[in-house]
Amino acid sequence: MIKKLRKKLYFGEEAPLICDEHGAFTNPVNFRKRYYRILNQAGIETKGLHSLRHTFATNLVNGVKQPDGTIRALSPKQVADLLGHSTSQITEMYYVKKDTARLNGITEGFEI
């Protein structure tokens, strides 16, 4: 399907296919400009699109708190596989920021 679409609208062999607000395909440069405008209007510091990849990885490893109080998360190895990294060390070194706030009080109630 992607090869078919690239024949119709060609931006380069490795260029990502990105939909515009009407469902048509747009040039990645136009998408980037729109992304920066959204950040600016929301009052968010301008960061590159690659920062979304870092945020995605961090959120997957740190997990999401479930209604029953448990935290659902993926291992760094699983995230590395999703991101296409050869080892989980790359993912941990460059992509994941551990959330140590969840460690507060973890040893409360232990007798030392």
Measured CA to CA in angstroms, residue 111 lies from 73, 102, 108 at distances of 29, 20, 9
Is this structure's pTM higher than 0.75?
Answer: no
What was the pLDDT predicted at 50?
Answer: 87
pLDDT in tens, 12-38: 666 656 766 777 777 777 888 888 998
Instruction: Give the SS3 label for residue 26.
Output: strand
Q: Kindly report the backbone phi and psi dihedral angles of residue 57, in degrees, each rounded to the nearest multiple of 5, phi listed first.
A: -65, -45
Spell out the residues 6+ positions from residue 110 whose beta carbon is closer than 8 angstroms to its own.
none
What is the residue extent of each domain of the chain?
A: 2-42, 50-97
Q: Which residue has the higher pLDDT, 37 or 97?
A: 37
